[in-house]
Amino acid sequence: MTSATLSPREMKRRRRLGADYVAPSPYSVRNALTRGDVFTRLSALVFGLGNIARRQFVKGAVLLALEIAFIVFMAVSGAGYLSKLPGLGDQKQGKTLVDGFWVYTKGDNSVVILLYGVCTVVLIAAFAVLWAVSVRSAYRAECEAREHGHAPTFREDLHDLTDGRAHQLLMFLPTLGILVFTVLPLIFMISMAFTSYDHDHLVLFDWVGFENFGKVFSNSGGTVNAGLFVSVLVWTLVWAFFATFLNFFLGLFFAMVINRRTTRFKGFWRACFSMSIAVPQFVSLLVMRTMLQPTGAVNRLLMEWGWIDSALPFFTNATWARVTVIIINLWVGIPYTIMQITGILQNIPADLYEAARLDGANWWQIFTQITMPYIIFVLTPYLITTFTGNVNNFNVIYLLSGGDPTPIGSSAGKTDLLITWLYKLTVDKGDYNLGAVIGIMTFIVLAVVSLVTYRNSGSYKNEEAFR
């Protein structure tokens, strides 16, 4: 496709991307429906017809089989799921007395209706994509048959798929896994936020619109309200910030100390930190939780030595508890940072340091102008991932403090993160609708922070090389 045939929008996109620009495929649905022959256009109704007409029997048969399978599914069960989705079911479980025995009649289950309804909607969207694939494939077969005398055979298509389009083949299964195990549950969770699925409506519930969002962002009190949400959100971001950057800078410090030429027994020190990684995290956290209890080993030893008169409130005072979980997280996270940074330090070109020393740079100038920029350039995606992981760091908070201390009547403790609060609302209290709202807000916060940070980092703007 030449630049003369590109639309103004594509020309602008081409100038912006430069060498990374990829021209749009000429085998579009629009071209197929306006320029294609009768077989290509009929492929919009009978999938694979255009391919079969060009002797691409395998590809055409597969497309046709998928269309038939979808039609059968919709006729057998899909239409029924869709018909119940607007009301989420209304038939309660009943029982009748027959010959002195109770006979139970099965009622509707709104969770099942919602799940199958969402899956059906997703399958309809997938069918729409398959429709576009069928039309484009038929048009491509038509164009190639006109240009080369015949459409590619099955063997030629298979060779092209494993060679010229190998990236599409390799990315198919991971993409399918993301759609099935990430996107689909996410859609189901988002849908749940607009229902009355709570501890009072565990079997049958209805759509309630934005009522749950009103509960979360209102100041009317209750187990979930705007004040409690803001409090948990602020603490979640504070925790994620300190848990990420304290681990990073302290891990950087220890890695650089170990990496110094004058440091002896480098392998021993690295092995010591590696051993802490080998111990399962939940074991370390549960041991620490037991040791820091009012009657735990730490308080008992301090009182026996006469250093304190009463037990330190590690998990009974809000400030103490928050500082405690941050410090304990250092024990868990620093070894990973040391291993990451050690590998980066050993790969920084030595000639950069030699040139800096010849120019008279001191150790601080070398660190700020060479070492730190290089580490930040390489580790920016890792830091964003770590920050995201700390926002959702369920293990450390739940296993260490359990969210305590928790005020009487509150659904969230002073050390609860959004993720542990969501867990309590759903598993402990059964308020799945409110938990879904918290999940949506967590997703929005993480998406905004991660995308804004990454798109403004050097790792995104200059992927080719470090400057």
Domain boundary pick from 137, 158, 193? 193
- Count of domains for the chain: 2
Residue 311 has φ and ψ, to the nearest 5°, of: -65, 140
Query: How large is the average pLDDT for residues 275-303?
Result: 89
Domain contains 29: yes
Domain contains 54: yes
Beta-bridge mates of residue 207: 195
DSSP H helical segments within 346-393, as ranges?
350-358, 363-366, 372-391
Task: Determine the 3-state secondary structure of 95 from DSSP.
Answer: strand
The residue range of the domain holding 269 is: 215-462
Within 10 angstroms of residue 386's Cβ, the number of other Cβ atoms is 22
Q: What is the pLDDT of residue 411?
A: 87
Domain contains 323: yes
Residues 243 and 170 in one domain: no
- Burial, 5: exposed, middle or buried (Cβ in 10 Å; 0-12, 13-18, 19+)? exposed
What lies within 8 Å, CB to CB, of 265 at 6+ separation is: none
Q: What is the pLDDT of residue 457?
A: 66
Query: pLDDT band for position 459 (50/70/90)?
Result: low
Residues 155 and 241 in one domain: no
- How far is the C-alpha of 207 from the C-alpha of 197, rounded, in Å? 9
- How far is the C-alpha of 391 from the C-alpha of 416, rounded, in Å? 11
Residues 67 and 171 in one domain: yes
Q: Find out whether 90 and 204 touch, Cβ atoms under 8 Å.
A: yes
Q: What is the pLDDT of residue 95?
A: 66
Average model confidence (pLDDT) for the chain? 86
Residues 109 and 171 in one domain: yes
Q: Is the pLDDT of residue 421 over 60?
A: yes
Apex 25 CA angle, 19 and 29, nearest 5: 150
Domain boundary pick from 162, 193, 224? 193
Q: Find out whether 97 and 139 touch, Cβ atoms under 8 Å.
A: no
Lowest mean pLDDT among 121-130, 155-164, 396-405, 424-433: 155-164
Domain contains 209: no
Q: What is the pLDDT of residue 19?
A: 60
Selection from 217, 218, 221, 198 nearest residue 208 by Cα:
198
Residues 145 and 231 in one domain: no
Q: What is the pLDDT of residue 343?
A: 85
Domain contains 206: no
Residues 56 and 142 in one domain: yes
Q: Which two tokens stand for residue 103?
A: 């006979």
Residues 221 and 272 in one domain: yes
Beta-bridge mates of residue 101: 98
Q: How many CA within 13 A on the CB side of residue 263?
A: 12
Residue 263's region, left for phi above 0, alpha for psi from -120 to 50, else beta, is beta
State the residue for tokens 């999938």.
47
Query: pLDDT band for position 373 (50/70/90)?
Result: confident
DSSP H helical segments within 149-202, as ranges?
154-162, 166-178, 184-192
What lies within 8 Å, CB to CB, of 408 at 6+ separation is: none
Residues 442 and 293 in one domain: yes
- How far is the C-alpha of 387 from the C-alpha of 453, rounded, in Å? 11
What beta strand segments (E) does 14-149 contain?
Answer: 94-98, 101-105
Q: What is the pLDDT of residue 3?
A: 47
Domain contains 1: no
Residues 124 and 257 in one domain: no
What lies within 8 Å, CB to CB, of 440 at 6+ separation is: 189, 190, 193
Q: Which two tokens stand for residue 122?
A: 């997703």
Q: What is the pLDDT of residue 141?
A: 92
More confident residue, 193 or 218: 193
Q: Is the pTM of this model over 0.95?
A: no
Q: What is the dihedral of CA 121, 448, 434, 432, to 10 degrees?
A: 50
pLDDT > 90 fraction of the chain, expressed in percent and rounded: 43
Residues 281 and 229 in one domain: yes
Q: Is the pLDDT of residue 108 over 70?
A: yes
More confident residue, 1 or 7: 7
Residues 265 and 387 in one domain: yes
Selection from 141, 232, 270, 247 nearest residue 439 by Cα:
232
Q: What is the DSSP string of 230-250?
A: HHHHHHHHHHHHHHHHHHHHH
Residues 229 and 141 in one domain: no
What is the CATH classification number for the domain harbouring 426? 1.10.3720.10
Domain contains 198: no
Q: What is the pLDDT of residue 467?
A: 47
Task: Determine the 3-state secondary structure of 97 from DSSP.
Answer: strand
Query: How large is the average pLDDT for residues 162-182?
Result: 88
State the residue for tokens 């306006």.
34
Task: Report which listed range, 66-70, 268-272, 388-392, is most confident.
Answer: 66-70
Domain boundary pick from 132, 161, 193? 193
Q: What is the pLDDT of residue 242?
A: 94
Q: Is the pLDDT of residue 30 over 70?
A: yes
Domain contains 352: yes
Query: How large is the average pLDDT for residues 49-65?
Result: 93
Task: Determine the 3-state secondary structure of 195 from DSSP.
Answer: strand
